[in-house]
């Protein structure tokens, strides 16, 4: 395929980010689609391509070979299915969907149509978190047996300025909208999940109807344990990652960008992740998708990975609801 024509579904900030990345790696943005007139106008002005009012119009263009879905969470499944049925390859932003059953339909339709399906889980590629994976996977501290991630911020964040994100029915809740990143990342550290436990609460009065504090604990294969704490009840904010291995441990404070790790009996090592020279994360995931389509090779973050994260979150919410 000499030129990969790409259509963007959802012309908001994430859609524009994907479009920029696609152009940077040799894809050609053919058009965008969004029901919001303001978003369409901004997209059309920036990329000098048509911005259409419906996904159907976008899929009617034969020059569109692949679609990048950056619409609101509750529409990911609908738009992916439409693209697959039209024979288009799909890059779907996180969360893949809001129900495991929808993920299954998305995977099945893409397989039936013979098209690629990749899910955007960009956290894997952020320089500091990518470096943590490098250190752990090098094996010098032995196999990881537990990990803990804490990601908190306040209710005043920009995320709430977009109305659909503040509605649980449309965004899915905090774990879907935000912590699906960390759920996927725990799998990169610890492997395949087996059980989930969850607790959620809403402590602060706010205009949104989703929880502002959530704790999820996951059991992974081999008895490994992953703990996630997230929410929007902290004006101070905090984002830290800890990994405990057989022969050492590692801590990352994302506010300072410093990784500290130590093998048992050894010296503490510190490294600033600002020194990590990596490809821009969104550009990297888009490049990997474009290369998979062009070269006919497997995608790097397949639908099964996206489904796994949704299954973990769905189970954690069931646990929280049932006690």
Q: Give the pLDDT band (50/70/90) at residue 161.
A: confident
Compute the Cα dihedral for 247, 253, 259, 265 and give only its sign.
negative
Terminal-to-terminal C-alpha distance of the chain: 52
Q: Give the pLDDT band (50/70/90) at residue 156.
A: low
Q: Is the peptide bond before 95 cis (omega within 30 degrees of 0)?
A: yes
Calpha distance 254→223 (Å, rounded): 27
Q: Give the pLDDT band (50/70/90) at residue 53.
A: very high
pLDDT at 72 over 90: yes
């Amino acid at each position: 395929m000499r030129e990969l024509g790409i259509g963007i579904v959802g012309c908001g900030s994430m859609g524009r980010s994907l479009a920029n990345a696609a152009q940077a790696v040799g894809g050609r943005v053919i058009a965008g689609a969004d029901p919001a007139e303001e978003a369409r106008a901004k997209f059309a002005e920036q990329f000098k391509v048509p911005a259409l009012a419906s996904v159907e119009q976008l899929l009617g263009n034969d020059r569109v070979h692949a679609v990048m879905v950056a619409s609101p969470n509750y529409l990911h499944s609908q738009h992916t299915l439409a693209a697959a049925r039209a024979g288009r390859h799909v890059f779907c932003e996180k969360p893949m969907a809001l129900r495991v059953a929808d993920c299954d339909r998305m995977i099945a339709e893409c397989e039936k149509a013979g098209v690629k399906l990749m899910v955007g889980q960009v956290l894997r590629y952020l320089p500091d978190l990518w470096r943590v994976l490098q250190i752990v996977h090098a094996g010098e501290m032995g196999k990881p047996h537990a990990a803990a991630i804490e990601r908190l911020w306040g209710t005043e964040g920009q995320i709430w300025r977009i109305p659909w994100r503040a509605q649980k029915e449309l965004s899915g809740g905090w774990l879907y909208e935000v912590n699906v990143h960390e759920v996927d990342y725990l799998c990169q550290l610890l492997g395949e999940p087996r059980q989930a436990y969850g607790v959620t609460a809403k402590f602060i009065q706010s205009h949104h109807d989703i929880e502002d504090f959530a704790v999820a604990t996951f059991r992974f294969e081999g008895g490994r344990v992953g703990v996630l704490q997230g929410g929007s009840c902290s004006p101070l904010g905090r984002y830290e990652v800890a990994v405990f291995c057989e022969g050492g441990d590692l801590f990352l404070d994302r506010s300072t960008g410093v990784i500290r790790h130590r093998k048992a009996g050894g010296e503490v090592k510190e490294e600033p992740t600002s020194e990590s020279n990596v490809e821009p994360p969104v550009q990297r995931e888009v490049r990997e998708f474009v290369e998979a389509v062009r070269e006919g090779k497997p995608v790097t973050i397949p639908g099964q990975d996206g489904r796994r994260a949704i299954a973990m979150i769905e189970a954690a919410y069931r646990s929280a609801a049932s006690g």
